[in-house]
C-alpha cells in the first residue's frame, strides 16, 4: 500500500506505514550484488551448508523453502572488509552483510531463520580461520576465569520433532490452561529484530515494555483457527502466565538450530559449568 498524496487528511495508519518505509529506506541496505566467482582466473571455492531447518518454516515464495543444503563461498578479502567495518558493527548488520555476501543464492538475511544463519556463520568461520574456537567464561560457582575450546566441526543440528509441523510449515499446540489451540510460526531474524525495536521504542517513550506480548503477537498465526489480528492481539494481552511459559518452551523445542551447548569443569572448585558457545564479533578472530 502506498500513499504519496494528500497532505492534510492522511489516515493515521497510512502515515505510520509511510514513516516506517522512510526509516527502512535510510537504515536498511539491500543485499549486495553478488560478485563473479572468478578473479583474474582464480575460482573462489565453495562449500555446502546443511540447514538445521531443512528448508521448513519458510513461506512458499522463499528461495530456501524445502532446501536442505545451500551453497556458500569461502570468505575472501571482501568479507574481511565487512568484518572490519565499524559502520556495519555499529548498525548491528555485520553478520547480515557477511551472510548475504557468501551465499550463492541472492537472499535477504533478515528473512532467514536464526538457526540457518548460525550454520552459515559456523561454516564461514571454520573454512576461513579453522574449526578450533577458543573463548573465555566465568565459573558460575567461584567466578574463576576459564578457557574453553570447541571444535566447530563437531557441532550438530538440534533434532526437531516434525510430527506437529502443519502443511503451512507452522506448529500447532494446545495450551495447558486455556485449552486454546494455538498455531505459531518460527520467527525469522527480521521478526526478532522487530520485537526488539518495539520494546526499545516503548522504553524510549516512557512506556513499560512487555516483551512477552510483542513476542507472542509476532509468532502466533492463529487461535482456534482464527487468524484475525484483533483476536490474536486481544488474546496475547490477557494470556495466562502458565500458557505463556508453555508456548515459549514449545517455540524453543521446535526451533531448528545448531546445538551450541558445552560443558566445562572448573579446575579450582570442580563445578561443572554448562552453557552455549558465544557467537559475537570476536567469533571471527583468528587464533593464529
Query: pLDDT per residue over 190-227, tens digit each?
Result: 999 998 888 888 888 788 778 899 999 999 999 999 99
The DSSP annotation for 174-221 comes to: E-TTT--EEEE-PPPHHHHHHHHHHHHHHHHTT----HHHHHHHHHEE
Considering the domain architecture, whether residues 134 and 224 belong to the same structural domain is answered as no
Does residue 25 form part of some domain? no
Q: Which domain holds residue 62?
A: 31-158+271-284
Bigger pLDDT: 136 or 29? Answer: 136
Give percent of the chain above pLDDT 90: 66
Considering the domain architecture, whether residues 225 and 279 belong to the same structural domain is answered as no
Does residue 11 form part of some domain? no
DSSP single-letter state for residue 284: G
Task: Give the Å distances, CA to CA, from 70 to 63, 102, 131.
Answer: 10, 11, 20
Model's pTM, two decimal places?
0.80
Contact in structure between 126 and 152 (CB atoms under 8 Å)? yes
Query: pLDDT per residue over 240-287, tens digit each?
Result: 999 999 999 999 999 999 999 999 999 999 999 999 998 877 888 765
Considering the domain architecture, whether residues 142 and 280 belong to the same structural domain is answered as yes
Considering the domain architecture, whether residues 74 and 138 belong to the same structural domain is answered as yes
Does residue 250 form part of some domain? yes
Q: How many other C-beta atoms are found inside a 10 Å radius of the C-beta of residue 95?
A: 24
Does residue 21 form part of some domain? no
Contacts of 155 (CB under 8 A, 6+ apart): 122, 258, 259, 260, 277
Considering the domain architecture, whether residues 279 and 175 belong to the same structural domain is answered as no
Query: pLDDT per residue over 178-194, tens digit each?
Result: 999 999 999 999 999 99
Does residue 20 form part of some domain? no
Provide the domain count of the chain. 2
φ, ψ of residue 128 to 5 degrees: the values are -105, -35
pLDDT at 159 > cutoff 50: yes
Amino acid at each position: 500500500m502506498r500513499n504519496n498524496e494528500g497532505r492534510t487528511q492522511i489516515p493515521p495508519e497510512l502515515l505510520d506505514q509511510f514513516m516506517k518505509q522512510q526509516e527502512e529506506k535510510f537504515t536498511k541496505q539491500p543485499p549486495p550484488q553478488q560478485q563473479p566467482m572468478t578473479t583474474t582466473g582464480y575460482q573462489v571455492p565453495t562449500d555446502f551448508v546443511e540447514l538445521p531447518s531443512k528448508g521448513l518454516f519458510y513461506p512458499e515464495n522463499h528461495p530456501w523453502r524445502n532446501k536442505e543444503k545451500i551453497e556458500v563461498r569461502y570468505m575472501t578479502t571482501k568479507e574481511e572488509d565487512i568484518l572490519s567495518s565499524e559502520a556495519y558493527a555499529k548498525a548491528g548488520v555485520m553478520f547480515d552483510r557477511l551472510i548475504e555476501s557468501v551465499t550463492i543464492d541472492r537472499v535477504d538475511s533478515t528473512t532467514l531463520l536464526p538457526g540457518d544463519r548460525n550454520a552459515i556463520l559456523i561454516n564461514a568461520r571454520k573454512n576461513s580461520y579453522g574449526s578450533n574456537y577458543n573463548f573465555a567464561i566465568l565459573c558460575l560457582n567461584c567466578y574463576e576465569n576459564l578457557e574453553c575450546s570447541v571444535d566447530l566441526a563437531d557441532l550438530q543440528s538440534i533434532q526437531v520433532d516434525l510430527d506437529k509441523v502443519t502443511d503451512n510449515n507452522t506448529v500447532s499446540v494446545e495450551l495447558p490452561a486455556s485449552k486454546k489451540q494455538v498455531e505459531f510460526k518460527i520467527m525469522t531474524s527480521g521478526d526478532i529484530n522487530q520485537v526488539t525495536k518495539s520494546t526499545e521504542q516503548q522504553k524510549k517513550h516512557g512506556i513499560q515494555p512487555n516483551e512477552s506480548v510483542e513476542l507472542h503477537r509476532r509468532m502466533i498465526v492463529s487461535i482456534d483457527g482464527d487468524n484475525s489480528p484483533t483476536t490474536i492481539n486481544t488474546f496475547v494481552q490477557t494470556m495466562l502466565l502458565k500458557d505463556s511459559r508453555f508456548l515459549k518452551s514449545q517455540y524453543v523445542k521446535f526451533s531448528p538450530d545448531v546445538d551450541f551447548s558445552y560443558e566445562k569443569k572448573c579446575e579450582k572448585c570442580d563445578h561443572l559449568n554448562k552453557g552455549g558457545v558465544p557467537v559475537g564479533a570476536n567469533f571471527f578472530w583468528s587464533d593464529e
